[in-house]
Amino acid sequence: MKSIQRVLLVFAAVILLLPSFLVTASQNSNSSTSSEEVVQGAGVVSAKDEVVYARLGATGDKQEIYVVNVLDVEQAGTITDYGTYTSLKNLTDMSPLEQTGDAVEVAAPKGKFYYQGNMNDAALPWNISVSYLLDGKEIAPEDLAGAEGHVQIKIETSSNEEVDEVFFQNYLLQVSLSLDTKIFRSIQAPDGVIANAGKNQQVTFTVMPEKHANLLVEADAAGFELDGIDITAIPSSMSIDAPDLDGMTEDMGALTNAIGEVHEGVGELLNGVHELNDGMKELHSGSEEYKNGISTIHHSSSELVNASGSIAQALDTLHASLDGGMDESGLGDLNQLVTGLSQIAGGLRETATGLGTLQENYAKAHTALQSAMAAIPEQAISEADIQQLYGSGADPAVVERLVETYAAAQTAKGTYSAVKAGLDAVDGVLGQVRASLAEMANQLDAMSQGLAASQGEADAAAASFVQLQEGIKLLSTNYKEFHAGLVEYTGGISQLSSSYEEMHSGLGALSEGTAEFENGIGKLHDGTDELYASTKDLPDQMKDEADRMMAEFDKSDFEPVSYVSPKNTTINTVQFVFKTEGIKIPEVEETEAPEEAKAGFWDRFANLFKGWF
């Protein structure tokens, strides 16, 4: 009875295990049948993706490269892919991969088919170099583990000329580091973006296509450890929308129009300064004539005063000699008196002639001065105008001199206006004096003629002598007053000549200042002309530059190519994923007691029957 129970238990166990063996056999049979069906025809691949993985050393040196190929099989069958691989691995099923040269064949079912190919001898499209500094001194990665101090991590990327530049020209790199905040403090990345990621801070850099990069991360570290640097490269195939530049171009258009208006305003200023400069030249020229005329009058005044003094002295002497009366012996000298009177009359006429020359020279000088003063502009320049002139860009020193000379010119014009009435009256006074002298000369001639006519008659001569005596007395007295006025007038002419020299020098400096200012405004006008010429097309230039930059970074028309072999077609995407070796503090190995081996399924199943047989 006992043996029958044991047989029944074994039989029951066999019945329980038999279905699993039958199912496995059925699956293997179906798989074999499926593989045979795939091999019978040629497969069709509609698209292929390549993901290139590279394991780099801590300094960026290449250590291992493998490519995961993703084939989108549209029709099951035997497919051929290309690549120079050192080893292959099917990541989809158990179908064998056959490699002949650079051709890889496999019987692939419909759908996604994955396989891996190692190619450690291949070159990457980018040269990547990583260096480390501790407290300013370069240090090897293995020596940096566990270190404390200020750490700098420098990452350099550049084009590898051994590889097709299509990847360098069209791919952007993203470089990222994950820094544990328990280890790193005061993290800085001048060209990167720092973001919090849990207990870590993520530092990310982006390198645009066709750009070499020098990236820097620095921080204060305590017990340095680094998981490694992640680098991904993907095609920059995003489409960049054209920016809306209408508002900016409108503003730039307004700016260029304003610059044009400034240029026109400076042109008008230049014309005004040119007119001012011409007026100052005329003023200086007229002032030169006036100065010369006054100088001539001043130098001839001494001769006029001396001649007038001689006449006054002669009249005084004649008056003194006539005061003594006339006796019979004196009448004999009447002839000499007649001659003396004629000489005095002649002297007065010469004086009148000299005054005529003086009057003519003064009139010319006065006319020149009037023209010069009229050339000074009437328009007043306000303090606001002067400040605007300082802000126009002209040389401040030139503007300062111009303001000073403008003030001097206005002062001169104001002074001239104040004394103009007196200067205008001089011509009339000189005319009156000339007329008086001529009348005196005529009276003396009349006296002389009367004495000459009465020389034969004593009574008549005596009467004429009395009249002569009174006339000479009056004439001598009046002439003294005239002579004193003439001396005062010539003294004023001398003072005017002396003071006008200084004024004329100021007008000369003013003329030079306006000429220099015109030259400065001319240069300013040239500058605004150049500025306007360079900015008038600025809105169009901005649009052209924006289009150029968009064309440079817009890689939306990029057609992907295979990294592993140019024979591969229908490439959909190619991506690169690199990671540098981490820097870790070595762990101390601990000896552990060996664990007791756990019983497997068959062991546990066999234990059920121990002691039964």
Domains and CATH numbers, the chain: 126-239 (2.60.40.2960), 269-528 (1.20.120)
Tally of CB atoms within 10 A around 466: 13
3-class secondary structure per residue, 359-428: HHHHHHHHHHHHHHHHHCCCCCCCHHHHHHHHCCCCCHHHHHHHHHHHHHHHHHHHHHHHHHHHHHHHHH
The whole-angstrom separation of Cα 613 and Cα 607 is: 12
Strand partners, 12: none
**Residues in CB range of 313: below 8 A, 6 or more apart:** none
User: Highest mean pLDDT: which of 262-266, 485-489, 552-556?
Assistant: 262-266
The whole-angstrom separation of Cα 421 and Cα 147 is: 99
- The lowest-confidence range among 140-149, 359-368, 571-580 is 359-368
Nearest to 140 by CA among 215, 58, 217, 62: 58
| pTM score | 0.49
31 pLDDT above the threshold of 60: no
Provide the pLDDT for residue 344: 73
Strands (E), 140-208: 148-159, 171-180, 184-188, 193-197, 200-207
Q: pLDDT above 70 covers what percent of the chain?
A: 55
**Burial class of 596 by CB neighbour count within 10 A (0 to 12, 13 to 18, 19+):** exposed
103 close to 155: Cβ distance less than 8 angstroms: no
pLDDT digits (tens, 9 = 90+) for 156-171: 999 999 999 999 999 9
139 pLDDT above the threshold of 70: yes
Which position has the higher pLDDT, 546 or 219?
Answer: 219
pLDDT digits (tens, 9 = 90+) for 225-280: 999 999 999 998 655 455 555 666 666 677 777 777 777 777 777 776 677 667 66
DSSP 243: P
Label residue 16 by pLDDT band (50, 70, 90): very low
DSSP 583: B
**Residues in CB range of 138: below 8 A, 6 or more apart:** 131, 132
Q: Mean of the per-residue pLDDT values for the chain?
A: 76
Which residue type, as a one-letter code, is found at position 23? V
Strand partners, 215: 155
Tally of CB atoms within 10 A around 112: 12
- The lowest-confidence range among 35-39, 352-356, 594-598 is 35-39
548 pLDDT above the threshold of 80: no
